[in-house]
Amino acid sequence: MTVAVTGGTGFVGQSVIDRALAEGQEILALARKPQERRDGVTWVAGDLADSAALSRLVDGAQQVVHIAGVVNTPDPAGFEQGNVAGTLNLVEAAVAAGVRRLVFVSSLSAREPAISAYGASKHRAERLVKASGLDWTIVRPPAIYGPRDREMFELFRAAKWGFVPTPREGKASLIHVEDLARLLLALLPGGEHVTHRSFEPDDGKRGGWGHDELARAIGWAVGRRPLVLGLSRQTMERAARLDMALRRKRAKLTLDRVGYFSHPDWVVSHGSRVPHEIWRPRIETREGLKATAAWYREQGWL
């Protein structure tokens, strides 16, 4: 089978391509910039705003994994353009090409669209996918960690410095990127148990991780016992304004993200778990965090 992949140069996309190639899949992958040649991968130049590129991407593909999107931007309009309009463009290209199967990587934030512009954009994108007429499955991952990740890396780096800032209250689920990649490929064949359904996968830890518990686990992974700083929403908003003033477009903490981080419950819903006969997580999180920290060290990030 030939699989079309958006976001193939990103954190999750690279893991999906690695796994797909190991399973003998042929890949068509969208990329904004020129990429190194790779056996089994045909790179298609373009982005989600380029309808001609999307038509080339899905031409000859039987299945599409839609990973690409905007996860952080100082301008909420960027979420609308990347996550909503981009998804619509891909859906239209897939329908026109006769592709039937679409696995869409959304976000757990989509279940609370009023909390953040990011979550609202993913929620709207989900509605487009559901109305597409395609055989779709939606995956709402919680926080994703693993090698190559630059988002949670900030917490690893802070832990090495001896402290980890977290929201004062709340819990969240986690998933390792390799477990997520396995899931996305396991869903591609479709079938009555997965088609027209939305799933919320995680590492298998019921009740998720308390923010302080996760901070200590990351500290253990880097060999430290960090001070855990539980921050109020007001404090995080001040920190976001400072980050935006210092790093501008490269800011990791924005006011929109504060709205997301401040929500007390980002634990996956038990009723939305993937059937065990289709997939179950393999990577124990503490060991996964430790291996991720080792990868960061090998790359000179820590």
Cα-based distances in Å from 56 to 28, 31, 44, 205, 226: 9, 12, 7, 41, 49
The answer to whether 274 and 292 have CB atoms below 8 angstroms apart is no
* Amino acid identity for residue 48 in this structure: L
- Domain locations along the chain: 2-145+173-203+268-281
Cα dist. 78→69, 86, 248 in Å?
A: 10, 11, 15
What is the reported pLDDT for 191? 93
Which residue has better confidence, 257 or 300? Answer: 300
Q: What pLDDT, in 10s, does the model give residues 139-197?
A: 999 999 999 999 999 999 999 999 999 999 999 999 999 999 999 999 999 999 999 99
Q: Quick one: pLDDT at residue 246?
A: 87
In this prediction, residue 199 carries a pLDDT of 98
Q: Which residue has the higher pLDDT, 284 or 1?
A: 284
Name the packing angle between helices 211-222 and 153-161 (round to 10°).
70
Q: Rounded distance, CA 105 to CA 237, Å?
A: 28
Share of the chain above pLDDT 70, in %: 100
Architecture of domain 2-145+173-203+268-281: 3-Layer(aba) Sandwich (3.40)
Q: Number of H helices and number of E strands within the chain?
A: 11, 14
Per-residue pLDDT tens over the stretch 122-154: 999 999 999 999 999 999 999 999 999 999 999
Question: Is the per-residue pLDDT at 113 higher than 90?
Answer: yes
Q: Can you list the positions of beta strands (E) in 10-112?
A: 26-31, 41-45, 63-66, 101-105
pLDDT over threshold 90, residue 74: no
